[in-house]
Amino acid sequence: MTPITPEIIAKHGITPDEYDRIREILGRDPNFTELGVFSVMWSEHCSYKNSKLELKKFPTTGPRVLVKAGEENAGVIDIGDGWAVAFKMESHNHPSAVEPFQGAATGVGGIIRDIFTMGARPVFSMNSLRFGDIRGDTAEARTNRRLFAGVVSGISHYGNCIGIPTIGGEVYFDDSYAGNPLVNVFCLGVLRHEQIARGAAEGIGNPVFYVGAETGRDGLAGAAFASRELTEESKEDRPAVQVGDPFREKLLLEACLELLASGCVAGIQDMGAAGLTCSTCETASRGGTGVQIDVNLVPKRETGMTPYEILLSESQERMLVIVKKGQEDQVRAIFEKWDLPYAEVGIVNDDGMMRVCEGGSVAVEIPARKLADDAPLYSREAAVKTAPVPLDLSSVPEADAMTSLAALLAHPSIASKRWVWRQYDHMVRLGATVLPGSDAAVFIVREANKILAASTDCNAIYCRQDPREGAKIAVAEAARNIACTGAIPLAVTDNLNFGNPHKPENFLQLREAVEGMAEACRVFDTPVTGGNVSLYNESPAGSIDPTPTVGMVGLVEDAAHITTQFFKETGDAIILVGEPGDELGASHYLLAVHGRKAGAPPKLDYQKELAVQDAVRSLIRAGLVRSAHDCSEGGIAVALAESCMSGPEPRGASVKISSDATRSDVVLFNESQSRIVLSVKAANADEVLSLLQKRGVPGTIIGSVVEDKALSIEAVGRTFTWPLAPLEATWKGTIESLMEG
């Protein structure tokens, strides 16, 4: 028996105070296996012990909310006519830093299981990815390219093999993510209200079944691994990275949905973070019961595995199913039909204990609720908040607008992500009606006769300079992207990516971002249905920029309302909804052209933002809008260029922007909020302006779509003309040339 020494306790990430609490719960010292069980369940990844008190600030209720955040594996939102959607976002950052292909692939597999565990059929996935700079020939740039290629390959491999389309997302590149990439994955599924499944061990005497892949030693203590900083020695943590099998997951998906439809299931839980440990104690805790299992009965692919290894393994494609007593034979028949390993491994009892036996001996005996729900909660020390230093415009030389737009379009964060999404099978299931790369993804759920829009958003530069304002803008931009497709925002999931919370400056960022996001979600009436907190995102070079990613889902009421961002016809009028703006702080222009992250991010005025979004949605419903594209990174010049180049064929534009600003770079590249570029039929332009005026929303005809294959913008008394061919080659070819050149 392994002795429990202070060194062993510390290696498991358990503090002396936490160890004392464990002894109090058990009334004795834990054995080595029990210490491992507490280690994973009380890790940040599973317990959110450093963030749960902050997460309570989110709005989580609303008339559409059927399953609240934190109640189950994913939240569920009503979309009408008895149909609902389950959706969630999760991270697999640290595993992807160590082993990018498998780290990303198993991240996709894990989020898919969260969705079908709810009884929903997964219909599409998205992702939000961040890497260090991939430009140049330094060792760091080569590493970043390797991580980028591996992650994209892992995502495409898993999603393509299982047959779930990846239809959108975002990719950013910044030095702060060098050595610690962010891999945030999103999945959405559809279900009828009556199909919602619960992860509770209910029914005393009900048998407990294990189904799915055999348990191995891969992924050992992965939850604990994800709850500490990456170091130079992290390559030694390769066993903490799981190995995925999408074909096995497809069988598991179909078997579980058939099983849930059969009425045989009293409770179901996937074995994700913390594996068999988590699924056992959480189902018991939710059910107010106890669960006893025998690890000798668990299907294993390696010999000589100890209870510690079996309980802490994070082998993929596995589920724990609480079966209604007397239905065992029907359950076995379903598992055998889908050619899945399975075993009856335990029973639900009434003593509230998570009890793990190894044959005739007891290896673990812990009160389930204490383990699953009573982890210590911390409110860490936060640094003193200071206002961001406003940008001193005199310190920013006015760069040439011609070369600046090209530099912005060549920046990997703004350049077309065609190299990425061409690797994804985004057309499987034939539901994606808007190609990846537009403001938001749009998917037709034919079985429900519903049209969904979805977007993932976060500008980490804003969050670095002002976490509260940056998080508010992340919600607003997601809602703006949803509005540009013609959809109404419904709800959000999030992935909160931050550094070590023990550092006061990092905990301040977390608190500020949560409070900003919570405030914005209330304003936009988008309750938070759940998500993920990923802390300790630090490499030896330092912490990542705070990245509170928002995943938002909306509903398009009529297929005729689906709107895309690219210009449609020569002669169409181009209208700016909103004001020209003049806020250059924290902009991508400063980063891409001047190499600086400086100044305060643009301010968000909720009333202006809501008015702009409601007005554009109203115009779309009236059939007056041919294209809609929000102004975000790179400002109006980038928005216009993308509207020219992102369609099936390039279309030119001639535009004049009137502004009080005296510098062309301020006019063209500022990132002031609440602005959308529309194109409408010329004959409808006056009607559009009249409707905007009635709503009190600024709107200006700034130009038209032209036959000439060029983008021409007049600003501050000067006219800048960019031929589209070289711009398009730069925008579409940058990432491809970096990755394939």
Q: How confident is the model at residue 239 (pLDDT cuts 50, 70, 90)?
A: low
For residues 588 and 540, state if they share a domain. Answer: no
pLDDT of residue 225: 41
pLDDT of residue 224: 45
Cα distance between residue 610 and residue 600, in whole Å = 22
Is the predicted pLDDT of residue 626 greater than 50, yes or no?
A: yes
Q: Quick check: helix, strand or coil at residue 645? A: helix
Find the radius of gyration of the CA atoms of the chain.
Answer: 26
Q: How far is CA 103 from the centre of its chain?
A: 15
Q: Quick check: helix, strand or coil at residue 614? A: helix
pLDDT of residue 27: 96
Instruction: Indicate the average pLDDT of the chain.
Output: 94
For residues 280 and 157, state if they share a domain. Answer: no
pLDDT of residue 231: 52
Cα distance between residue 623 and residue 688, in whole Å = 10
Q: Which residue has the higher pLDDT, 429 or 473?
A: 473
Determine how β-strand 290-294 pairs with β-strand 353-358: parallel
User: Domain boundary at 541, 561, 581, which?
Assistant: 561
Q: How confident is the model at residue 237 (pLDDT cuts 50, 70, 90)?
A: very low
Instruction: Tell me, yes or no, whether 316 lies in a domain.
Output: yes
3-state secondary structure 302-365: CCCCCHHHHHHCCCCCEEEEEECCCCHHHHHHHHHHCCCCEEEEEEEECCCEEEEEECCEEEEE
Is the predicted pLDDT of residue 192 greater than 60, yes or no?
A: yes
The two three-digit tokens of residue 504, written as one number: 């006061």
Task: Provide the residue range defining the domain that includes 649.
Answer: 382-415+563-741
Q: How confident is the model at residue 229 (pLDDT cuts 50, 70, 90)?
A: low
User: In terms of C-beta density within 10 A (0-12 exposed, 13-18 middle, 19 or more buried), how is residue 378 classed?
Assistant: middle
For residues 502 and 609, state if they share a domain. Answer: no
For residues 202 and 190, state if they share a domain. Answer: no
For residues 707 and 688, state if they share a domain. Answer: yes
DSSP letters spanning 293-319: EEGGGS-BSSTT--HHHHHH---SSEE
- 258-266 average pLDDT score: 96
Cα distance between residue 701 and residue 655, in whole Å = 9
Instruction: Tell me, yes or no, whether 707 lies in a domain.
Output: yes
Q: Which of 214-223, 231-240, 321-330, 460-469 has the lowest mean pLDDT?
A: 231-240
User: Domain boundary at 522, 538, 561, which?
Assistant: 561
- 122-129 average pLDDT score: 97
Is the predicted pLDDT of residue 263 greater than 50, yes or no?
A: yes
Query: The domain spanning residue 71 has which CATH number?
Result: 3.30.1330.10
DSSP class of residue 428 equals G
Instruction: Tell me, yes or no, whether 143 lies in a domain.
Output: yes
Our CA angle for 44, 48, 53, nearest 5°, is 140
Q: Under 8 Å CB-to-CB from 528, ≥6 apart: which residues?
A: 58, 59, 60, 69, 75, 491, 492, 493, 494, 517, 518, 521
For residues 409 and 448, state if they share a domain. Answer: no
For residues 685 and 605, state if they share a domain. Answer: yes
The two three-digit tokens of residue 95, written as one number: 């595993």
Instruction: Tell me, yes or no, whether 79 lies in a domain.
Output: yes
pLDDT tens figures, 361-379: 999 999 999 999 999 999 9
Q: How confident is the model at residue 227 (pLDDT cuts 50, 70, 90)?
A: very low
Q: How confident is the model at residue 240 (pLDDT cuts 50, 70, 90)?
A: low
Q: How confident is the model at residue 242 (pLDDT cuts 50, 70, 90)?
A: confident
- Look at the block and give the residue holding tokens 């670095």: 464
For residues 606 and 539, state if they share a domain. Answer: no
Cα distance between residue 322 and residue 454, in whole Å = 33
Instruction: Tell me, yes or no, whether 154 lies in a domain.
Output: yes
The closest alpha carbon to 88, from 61, 105, 70, 106, belongs to 70
Q: How confident is the model at residue 238 (pLDDT cuts 50, 70, 90)?
A: very low
pLDDT of residue 113: 95
Cα distance between residue 497 and residue 367, in whole Å = 31
3-state secondary structure 675-711: CEEEEECHHHHHHHHHHHHHCCCCEEEEEEEECCCEE
Cα distance between residue 6 and residue 15, in whole Å = 9
Residue type, 61: T
Q: Which strands form 573-577's sheet, in the order they lie side by side?
A: 627-630, 676-680, 573-577, 699-706, 652-657, 710-715, 718-723
Q: Under 8 Å CB-to-CB from 733, ≥6 apart: which residues?
A: none
Strands (E), 458-571: 488-497, 528-534, 538-539, 542-543, 547-556
Is the predicted pLDDT of residue 409 greater than 50, yes or no?
A: yes
For residues 568 and 655, state if they share a domain. Answer: yes
The closest alpha carbon to 113, from 303, 316, 274, belongs to 316
Is the predicted pLDDT of residue 234 greater than 50, yes or no?
A: no
Run of H or E including 570: none
Determine how β-strand 166-173 pairs with β-strand 207-212: unpaired
pLDDT of residue 605: 98
For residues 528 and 556, state if they share a domain. Answer: yes
**Annotation marks residue 45 as catalytic:** yes
- For 663, phi then psi, to 5°, come to -120, 135
Residue type, 546: P
Q: Could you say which of 12, 92, 411, 629 is catalytic?
A: 92
Using a cut of 0.75, tell me whether the model's pTM lies above it. Answer: yes
pLDDT of residue 221: 52
Torsion of CA 179, 183, 184, 186, to 10 degrees: 180
Q: Residue 685: left (phi > 0), alpha (psi -120 to 50), or beta?
A: alpha
Percent of the chain residues topping a pLDDT of 70: 97
The closest alpha carbon to 106, from 255, 223, 198, 267, belongs to 223
DSSP class of residue 582 equals -
Percent of the chain residues topping a pLDDT of 90: 90
Query: The domain spanning residue 645 has which CATH number?
Result: 3.90.650.10
Cα distance between residue 429 and residue 297, in whole Å = 38
pLDDT tens figures, 267-283: 999 987 778 999 999 99
- Give the total number of structural domains in the chain: 3
pLDDT of residue 243: 79
Cα distance between residue 723 and residue 711, in whole Å = 6
The two three-digit tokens of residue 175, written as one number: 């030095």
pLDDT of residue 572: 98
pLDDT tens figures, 653-696: 999 999 999 999 999 999 999 999 999 999 999 999 999 999 99
Instruction: Tell me, yes or no, whether 401 lies in a domain.
Output: yes
Is the predicted pLDDT of residue 223 greater than 60, yes or no?
A: no
- Look at the block and give the residue holding tokens 């969705």: 115
Buried b (16+ CB within 10 A) or exposed e, 515-542: bbbbbbbebbbbbbbbbbbbbbbbbeee
DSSP letters spanning 226-265: TTS---GGGGGGGGGS----HHHHHHHHHHHHHHHHHT-E
Instruction: Tell me, yes or no, whether 735 lies in a domain.
Output: yes
Q: How confident is the model at residue 595 (pLDDT cuts 50, 70, 90)?
A: very high
Q: How far apart are the first and last CA of the chain?
A: 56
Instruction: Tell me, yes or no, whether 696 lies in a domain.
Output: yes
Is the predicted pLDDT of residue 644 greater than 80, yes or no?
A: yes
Is the predicted pLDDT of residue 593 greater than 90, yes or no?
A: yes
User: In terms of C-beta density within 10 A (0-12 exposed, 13-18 middle, 19 or more buried), how is residue 143 classed?
Assistant: middle
pLDDT tens figures, 35-83: 999 999 999 888 999 999 999 999 999 999 999 998 888 999 999 999 9
pLDDT of residue 428: 76
Paired strand residues for 443: 432, 452
Q: How confident is the model at residue 431 (pLDDT cuts 50, 70, 90)?
A: confident
User: Domain boundary at 528, 561, 594, which?
Assistant: 561
pLDDT tens figures, 288-300: 999 999 999 999 9
Instruction: Please check whether residue 639 is in contact with residue 630, taking contact to mean a CB–CB distance below 8 angstroms.
Output: yes
pLDDT of residue 433: 86
DSSP class of residue 578 equals S
Other CB atoms within 10 A of residue 621 CB? 14
Is the predicted pLDDT of residue 543 greater than 50, yes or no?
A: yes
Q: Which residue has the higher pLDDT, 740 or 334?
A: 334
Q: Could you say which of 45, 94, 157, 411 is catalytic?
A: 45
Cα distance between residue 248 and residue 211, in whole Å = 11
For residues 251 and 267, state if they share a domain. Answer: yes
- Look at the block and give the residue holding tokens 């389950």: 86
Q: Which strands form 290-294's sheet, in the order they lie side by side?
A: 265-270, 318-323, 207-212, 342-349, 290-294, 353-358, 361-367
- 485-494 average pLDDT score: 98
Residues in the chain: 741
Instruction: Please check whether residue 508 is in contact with residue 382, taking contact to mean a CB–CB distance below 8 angstroms.
Output: yes
For residues 247 and 364, state if they share a domain. Answer: yes
pLDDT tens figures, 341-367: 999 999 999 999 999 999 999 999 999
Q: How confident is the model at residue 530 (pLDDT cuts 50, 70, 90)?
A: very high
pLDDT of residue 426: 78
- For 661, phi then psi, to 5°, come to -65, 150
Q: Quick check: helix, strand or coil at residue 56? A: coil
